[in-house]
A and B are shown apart, each in its own frame.
Chain A
Amino acid sequence: MLSLLAATPALPLDEAGKYVAGAYVVFLALIVVYVAIMAAKLQRIERELRELATFAEARAGADRAAPAPEEVGADV
């Protein structure tokens, strides 16, 4: 391995540049992919929350329209 290292001196900038760029682009790509996945998750949460809010509002509206339990009990 030492001989391998000795045989591989510093790369010229143009050749080394693509490796350095590759490493940093991979890192950036991983972060972007992670953020994209999280954004998709947040969109799903937001959509479900909107559905639940609509459902809760509809249910609250139906409860207001229906007679209260005390009134039903009084009738009986």
Chain B
Amino acid sequence: MYGKGLRPLSIATVAALVVSLSLVFFYAPLDGDQGFIQKIFYLHVPLAIVALVGIVIGGVFAIAHLRSGDSRWDAYSYVSIHMSVIFGVAVLITGSIWAKASWGHWWVWDEPTLVSFLIVFLMYATYYPFRYAIEDRDQQARYASVFAIVAGAFVPLNFMAVRMAQSLVHPRVFATTNGGLPGSMMLTFLASLLAIGLLWVTLVKFELTAKSASGQLKRLRRALDAPAPGGASRVAPEVS
């Protein structure tokens, strides 16, 4: 069920990634201030945006789970958060590389954007032990949903707090004052954002499909292990 449309989505993702990388390295002009190192921006910022939006989406799925009690929403929420945490690792590493190249330091502790992202990341790193510490599946799903909603609400609040902090170090490339991105850079950035967004959706679907297959397999094993009435195999028709 989850695998439906995965093939065209994967092809679209690969095509979008190729187009965005081509734009990054062959179309977008070199930044006057940072030069070639600014190319990391087209990877780092879309990854950060997609990771944070993915976390919020995980919270929205968690609300749907608590409202309906349908475990599918919990699976959506879990996989969204899982994928966003993986993207979060990429954000932290690419950000550190950019920081080292631009500022000469791998990490700057007095920069609100960096530290706030680290806080969000570490908060979601606790999601896994929190979730799997609970044995009862229903209770686990409910508590994980509550976590996803509360922590998901923290993300936009955190974003606003950082914006209000008005740091002068982290670049504000989407500012309406003091210039913003020129058209060619904005186009490249949007293409990168679309490609990374598609990658996130594809990987989420991929993970959901694998999880669903694993779940179906467990069901099949349970059904086969159970003594069938009349000695007939109950699951043989489903397998064929």
| B100: chain A residues within 8 A (beta carbon) | 19
Q: How many residues belonging to A are interface residues under a CB distance threshold of 8 Å?
A: 39
**Known contacts A45-B214, A53-B239, A56-B233: A17-B36 contact under CB 8 Å:** yes
CB-based contact A59/B233 at 8 Å = yes
| Chain A interface mostly | helix
How far, in whole Å, are A53 and B110 apart by their CA atoms in the complex?
59
> Which stretch of B52-60, B181-189, B217-225 is in the interface?
B217-225
Known A10-B33, A11-B37, A27-B43: A38·B206 in contact at CB below 8 Å? yes
Give Cα A69–Cα B232 distance, bound, in whole angstroms.
10
Among A12-45, those with CB < 8 Å from B are 12-13, 16-17, 19-20, 22-24, 26-27, 30-31, 34, 38, 41-42, 45
Report B-chain residues with C-beta under 8 Å of the C-beta of A63. 231-233
Query: Does B18 make an interface contact (CB < 8 A)?
Result: no
Quick check: A30 and B86 within 8 Å, CB to CB?
Answer: yes
- Highest count of chain B CB atoms <10 Å: which of A27, A38, A49, A66: A27
Bound CA span A8–B235, Å? 67
Secondary structure dominating the interface of B: helix
A20 x B231 contact (CB < 8 A): no
Assess the B89–A30 pair: CB atoms within 8 A.
yes
Q: What 6 A-B pairs come out closest when comparing CB atoms?
A: A10-B35, A19-B101, A16-B36, A16-B37, A23-B94, A1-B169
Name B's A-contacting residues (CB within 8 A). Answer: 31-37, 39-40, 43-44, 47, 86, 89-90, 93-94, 97-98, 100-104, 108, 110-111, 168-169, 199, 203, 206-207, 210, 213-214, 217, 220-221, 224, 228, 230-233, 235-236, 239
Tell me the A residues contacting B by CB distance below 8 Å.
Answer: 1-2, 4-5, 8, 10-13, 16-17, 19-20, 22-24, 26-27, 30-31, 34, 38, 41-42, 45, 48-49, 52-53, 55-57, 59-60, 62-63, 66, 68-69
Q: Can you list 23 A-B pairs, Cβ within 8 angstroms, ordered by A? A: A1-B110, A1-B111, A1-B169, A10-B36, A11-B35, A11-B36, A16-B37, A19-B40, A19-B97, A19-B100, A22-B97, A23-B98, A27-B43, A27-B94, A34-B86, A34-B203, A41-B210, A45-B210, A49-B217, A52-B224, A59-B233, A60-B233, A63-B233
